[in-house]
Each structure stands twice: as structure tokens, then as C-alpha cells.
């Protein structure tokens, strides 16, 4: 999708661009990124900025420790977030708004919808949303972990046209360009499969946390929602000059021809399974209103704790992940039924399907068409 067809984009900028020397924020690379944002807005293109950098921006307040504790990292994020927002604000003559998120905000459907509504209200009033993970309050349970994947979740929530992810190299290469002089840039990817992931290396920046693998994960999330996704070199001003001209300066990932529906995309790529059901081998799925429905008789194991309405993982006894779905019953009740055959038969006579047949995201490739 060329820039003159964009209506709304999400731009992800990493820590190494914000605070390249961990001495606070620097305008060294931000100036040409800000210019690109201004040019987009001048063309009527709405922009949402996903900006890492709060920890890197705040680290100098704590002596740039080599191995800071988790508590110190959270304090760095708290101190650096203000500095990062101020750094962006000084480039613009229009207002911006800070949106701090955790995975807990996105995987809860009510809060996810609230985030959507807030972003739309900001955009409708000409305000630039600047999104970051809320490092101060995140835990292992609540964190996304990298802003590449966060940017894809935000792009899907915002109904954007394109996601642009800044990297420290020109795009996806067939091999690591830092160690292979014959590495070739892949200009376009039509289908993200295992061979694409095999090309992705680790993170090379001492500041950022997202390597190429997380960028491919983000591209897979975004393209399945119908977004064109770019990986570009954010350190080069020419990358943004080419983008604004409608050219591809890096790697573009083509969107699905038939994108996932909003609710199924959220369940597949954003919602986190609160538990899992193991079903007996041989059960003929998919589990929907047009085929055999999953009942208590097919459950062999129940793992985790979940309530009615929570997202759960359904897998086979051989370990294959089959689907994510909305639970119609709690783990407590299903655990009881799974271990009491006689009560299970009685339960089956008086209840409906174990999972909702309306919100099912299939994870097995053989049912790929079911959620496109």
C-alpha cells in the first residue's frame, strides 16, 4: 500500500533511536522520524507512535548500571518516560497523548475495546497517541515483553492500514548481514512461514530488546489483520524519504487477502489463554455450530484456573494446539466433571457445549480458512 493510500499508520520506534548512548534522549535520529510524522499528517494520514525508550532514557539518572535490578529498571522507566515524552513533544506544534499499556489491558476484551475508543477519540481530535508498555507495573504475567509485538496489537486495535517497524538494518535479509557480507535484502514477503522465521536473528542493539524474530512475529500479527507491514532502517533518513514518496526502502510483508475478523484476530494474537483443555484423540473437530461440538465427554484433562468467558487453549492428547476459544464453564466445574465419569454423563444431559461456538480461533493449519 503506497503512502497516498494510507489513512492511518502505526510507527514503531525502538530504544536505540531514542537514547542511542543511554545518556538521556537524543534528537540525533528522532529529527528525521518527527519530520516523517509531520509529512504524514500534512497529507491527512493519521499516525500512532509506539515508542520504546523509557528505560534507556532514564538509565543515566541511576549511573548507567551494568546489571540493574528489576526494581531499578522500573524506576528507570518511571524517570525516563517523562523525558521521552518531552523529547517527542519538542518536535511538534500539535498535542500528543501518553498511552501506557500492559498485556493485561489488551487481553481483557472490555479494556481492549476501551483502548480502541481512546485512540479513536485522540485521532479524531488531531492528537498524536504515543504508546509504550507500562514497565513500571508490568509483571511476567502481564507484560508483552517487546514493543514490536505491542505495535502490532496496537495497529490491529486501531484499524490501521500499515505498520512500520524501525530496525537497525535495512530489513529482512536471507542471512545475518552483520556477519555475512553476501547477505541479500528480501524486498517483499508474501507469506510468513518457518523459512522466514529461520532467517530472523537475535538482537544486535545493546539498548533494545526486540530482535528480528519479534519483528517477524509482529508482521505476522499485523498482516493477518490486513495491514501491510514494513521493516525499515530507522537510523537512515532516506528510509523515511522513500516511504513518503510511496517507495519501499526495506522489506514489506503483504497483508492477508482475506483478513481475520476483529474478534478472532484479538483471540488469536492478543488474548492470552488462562488455561487449557486436553481433548481425547480422535475427536472430529472443528468445534462449531456446523459440526460436532465439544462436550464434557471428550475432555481428558483440565489445566490452569479460568472462569466462564475466559479465553482457553484446546489441545489434543499428543500436544497439538488446536484452537483458542471462550470457555462456557469454569475450570473448577470442568475439573470435577473430567474426574467423575458418572456425574459427567449427567452433566452432559443438562448442559450445552464446553466452549463457545461463536468465538473460536483455530491454530491448526488444516483449519486456516476457518478464521480468515
Would you write out the chain's pLDDT as a tens digit for each of its 372 residues?
455 589 999 999 998 899 887 777 888 899 999 999 999 999 999 999 999 888 888 888 998 788 889 899 899 999 999 999 999 999 999 999 999 998 888 878 888 899 999 999 999 999 999 999 998 887 765 567 788 999 999 999 999 999 999 998 999 998 888 788 888 999 999 999 888 888 886 444 444 344 788 999 999 999 988 999 999 999 999 999 999 999 999 999 999 887 677 777 777 777 778 888 888 766 656 565 544 566 667 778 888 888 888 888 888 887 888 888 888 888 888 888 767 655 555 555 445 677 776 667 777 543 343 333
Residue positions counted in the chain: 372
- For cell 548481514, the residue is 177
Q: What's the CA gap between 263 and 270, in Å, rounded?
A: 10
- Domain 273-371 class in CATH: mainly beta
- Matching fold, domains 3-265 and 273-371: no
Beta bridge partners of 163: 10, 229
Beta bridge partners of 165: 12, 231
Determine how many CB atoms are found less than 10 A away from the CB of residue 213: 16
The whole-number pLDDT of residue 207 equals 40
Cis? peptide before 286, omega within 30° of 0: yes
| Residue 277: HSE in the Cβ half-sphere, 13 Å Cα cutoff | 32
Nearest to 135 by CA among 203, 193, 52: 52
DSSP 372: -
pTM: 0.78
The whole-number pLDDT of residue 6 equals 94
Nearest to 153 by CA among 15, 12, 266: 266
Under 8 Å between Cβ of 302 and 335: yes
3-265 CATH fold:
Carbamate kinase (3.40.1160)
Q: Strand runs (DSSP E) across the chain, as ranges?
A: 8-13, 46-51, 96-101, 128-133, 162-167, 188-189, 228-233, 251-253, 275-279, 299-304, 311-316, 321-327, 355-362
In the chain, domain spans: 3-265, 273-371
Q: Is 119 helix (H, G, I), strand (E, B) or coil?
A: helix
The whole-number pLDDT of residue 204 equals 44
The whole-number pLDDT of residue 78 equals 93
Pairing of strands 321-327, 311-316: antiparallel
Nearest to 48 by CA among 141, 154, 194: 154
Amino acid at each position: 500500500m503506497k503512502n497516498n493510500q494510507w489513512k492511518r499508520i502505526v510507527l514503531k520506534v525502538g530504544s536505540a533511536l531514542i537514547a542511542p548512548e543511554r545518556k538521556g534522549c537524543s534528537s540525533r535520529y528522532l529529527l528525521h522520524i518527527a519530520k516523517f510524522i509531520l509529512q504524514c499528517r500534512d497529507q491527512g494520514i493519521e499516525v500512532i507512535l509506539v515508542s520504546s525508550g523509557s528505560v534507556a532514557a532514564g538509565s543515566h539518572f541511576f549511573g548507567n548500571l551494568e546489571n540493574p535490578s528489576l526494581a531499578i529498571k522500573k524506576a528507570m522507566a518511571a524517570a525516563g518516560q517523562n523525558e521521552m515524552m518531552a523529547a517527542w513533544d519538542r518536535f511538534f506544534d500539535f498535542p500528543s497523548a501518553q498511552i501506557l499499556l500492559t498485556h493485561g489491558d489488551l487481553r481483557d476484551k472490555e479494556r481492549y475495546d476501551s483502548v480502541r475508543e481512546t485512540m479513536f477519540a485522540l485521532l479524531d481530535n488531531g492528537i498524536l497517541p504515543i504508546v509504550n508498555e507500562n514497565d513500571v507495573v508490568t509483571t511476567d504475567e502481564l507484560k508483552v515483553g517487546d514493543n514490536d509485538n505491542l505495535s502490532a496489537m496496537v495497529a490491529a486495535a486501531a484499524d490501521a492500514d500499515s505498520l512500520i517497524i524501525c530496525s537497525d538494518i535495512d530489513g529482512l535479509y536471507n542471512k545475518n548481514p552483520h556477519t555475512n557480507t553476501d547477505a541479500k535484502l528480501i524486498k517483499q514477503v508474501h507469506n510468513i512461514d518457518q523459512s522466514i522465521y529461520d532467517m530472523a536473528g537475535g538482537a544486535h542493539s545493546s539498548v533494545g530488546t526486540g530482535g528480528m524474530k519479534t519483528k517477524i512475529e509482529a508482521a505476522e500479527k499485523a498482516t493477518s489483520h490486513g495491514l501491510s507491514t514494513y521493516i525499515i532502517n530507522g537510523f537512515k533518513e532516506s528510509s523515511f524519504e522513500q516511504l513518503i514518496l510511496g517507495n519501499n526502502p526495506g522489506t514489506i510483508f503483504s497483508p492477508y487477502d482475506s483478513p481475520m475478523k476483529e474478534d478472532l484476530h484479538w483471540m488469536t494474537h492478543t488474548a492470552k489463554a488462562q488455561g487449557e483443555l486436553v481433548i481425547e484423540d480422535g475427536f472430529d473437530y472443528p468445534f462449531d455450530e456446523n459440526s460436532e461440538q465439544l462436550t464434557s465427554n471428550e475432555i481428558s484433562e483440565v489445566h490452569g484456573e479460568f472462569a466462564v468467558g475466559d479465553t482457553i487453549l484446546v489441545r489434543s492428547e499428543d500436544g497439538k494446539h488446536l484452537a483458542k476459544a471462550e470457555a462456557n464453564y469454569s475450570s473448577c466445574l470442568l475439573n470435577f466433571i473430567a474426574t467423575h465419569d458418572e456425574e459427567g454423563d449427567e452433566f452432559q444431559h443438562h448442559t450445552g457445549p464446553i466452549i463457545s461456538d461463536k468465538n473460536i480461533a483455530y491454530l491448526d493449519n488444516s483449519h486456516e480458512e476457518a478464521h480468515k
